[in-house]
A and B are shown apart, each in its own frame.
Chain A
């Protein structure tokens, strides 16, 4: 079985501050890991993904995430938050062909 835990259902940062959204996973096989973003009343869009190879992956809109096998983590970061980053973010793990999503983290960006 696989699972995803996103620590913190709500994160608030000031514009220009560092964004850190935490994701821990469990998987019985080497996982494929994803971060998605969802704006209100819309579907999810892929931000970035880790499959194999380099453990630091870069995505769209200046986001990046680092796969740490020893910590079973895949935290999402962005050096400087923009107002447009306010949205809900989902971490997901794929293993054996099925996706499991975390409960999501709502990011609020304060001016």
Chain B
């Protein structure tokens, strides 16, 4: 069966520090991969999606970047965190353009 792993679960980082969140999927090949951010009381904002290795689409301009070095690995990064980067980050995957998404457990990022 397919599983998705996302880590760490919580992270407290100082302003100006770098960020690296990792997401891996097991049990499937060539998944579509997504990074979402969820602010309190708000819906999910799509940050990045990828349909293949090295193929990244950014949905909103921001202080973050994403990379897909391997088929089932998706990384969210920042060189210098801002206070406004705090939030709940979710990685997700699906197998087709209109299929349901499967989510990781999320990372609670607090920038202090």
Contact = CB atoms under 8 A, between A and B. Distances in A.
Contacts of B88: 41
B83 interface: no
B47 to A, nearest CB: 13
A101 B100 CA distance: 12
B84 interface: no
A55 interface: no
A90 B97 contact: no
B44 interface: yes
Interface string B72-112: 00000000000000001010100001111111111010000
Contact of B90 (A44, A92, A94, A103): A44
Interface stretch (A13-21, A45-53, A60-68, A73-81): A45-53
A9 B98 contact: no
B72 to A, nearest CB: 17
Contacts of A9: 41
A43 B41 contact: no
Nearest to A44: B103
A42 B106 contact: yes
A32 B43 contact: no
Contact of A43 (B43, B49, B99, B106): B106
